[in-house]
Amino acid sequence: MSTATLRALVACALLCAAAATLAAPVAPHRADAAAGGAKAEDERCIECHVPTNPLTAQPGDGVHALLDGQPLAYLAKQMNDFRSGARQHAVMTLISRNFDDGDLADILAWYAAKPWLAGKEAEPDAAALRLVTQGDPARGIVACATCHGGPGQPPGVADAPRIAGQDAAYLAAQLRNWRSGDRRNSAGGLMTISARGLTDAEITALATSIAALK
């Protein structure tokens, strides 16, 4: 075997090892939720993923996702997707790849163990609520409740997030990202297909109504 061939094989092995490390799944069964809170503060996670906006006293900060009480399987999937590149976000990709697996598992367990905040006191839009509970099969829009659970219910799919009570601005931004294809890490492309048929007005109404649900 030539020196050039040997070097190529070594380089290939190193690249494969690096890729495997980046895509390595978070191991929630080893998590220590009690330690996760301090780590979330040390790593400054809580600076963005705040439970309550200090200016409005409402859940969320208008930009970032509410993580308190999200299913652990969902949190782990998103971090793995950031690591692998399946979900694109300049900051979160860098953060996810720099985290020690054990520390990350602890932080995710801490967020998952926290109570989910109730939605805001507001009346959901009737048409938007029908999309949540019934969808619109003619346009390929699957009912949100199919995976995310109905009002007052947990998600029906293990790695789907809670959305009732989620920050409205964050929800609207994600729906636009699904529709445009900027985000495409849902199982089977289901969110891309569903969001594709939504109008701008429907996205606004959906986000506001879902944020108001309990």
pLDDT tens track for 64-123: 999 999 999 999 999 999 999 999 999 999 999 999 999 999 999 999 999 987 777 678
Please give the radius of gyration of the chain, using alpha carbons only, rounded to the nearest integer.
19
Do 171 and 91 form a contact (C-beta atoms < 8 A)? no
Q: Which residue has the higher pLDDT, 27 or 93?
A: 93
pLDDT band at residue 25, thresholds of 50, 70 and 90?
Answer: low
Q: Region 31-56: what's the mean pLDDT?
A: 86
- Cβ density class 24-58: b for 16+ within 10 Å, e for less: eebebeebebebbbebbeeeebbeebbbeeeeeeb
Do 173 and 186 form a contact (C-beta atoms < 8 A)? no
Does the CA dihedral 111-114-119-121 come out positive or negative? negative
In single-letter form, the type of residue at position 165 comes to G
What domains, with CATH codes, occur in the chain?
24-113 (1.10.760.10), 126-212 (1.10.760.10)
Asked whether the predicted pLDDT for residue 12 surpasses 60, the reply is no
CB atoms within 10 A of CB 11: 10
Q: Which two tokens stand for residue 60?
A: 């969320």
pLDDT band at residue 19, thresholds of 50, 70 and 90?
Answer: very low
CB atoms within 10 A of CB 132: 22
Between CA 150 and CA 89 the distance in angstroms is 29
pLDDT band at residue 38, thresholds of 50, 70 and 90?
Answer: very high
Q: What is the pLDDT of residues 157-214, one digit of tens each?
A: 989 999 999 999 999 999 999 999 999 999 999 999 999 999 999 999 999 999 998 7
User: For residue 113, what pLDDT is reported?
Assistant: 95
Nearest to 33 by CA among 58, 59, 4, 69: 69
Between CA 109 and CA 184 the distance in angstroms is 25
First to last CA, the chain: 66
DSSP string, 71-137: -HHHHHHHHHHHHHTSS--HHHHHHHHHS-HHHHHHHHHHHHHSPPPPPPS-PPPHHHHHHHHT-BG
pLDDT band at residue 54, thresholds of 50, 70 and 90?
Answer: low
Between CA 160 and CA 194 the distance in angstroms is 15
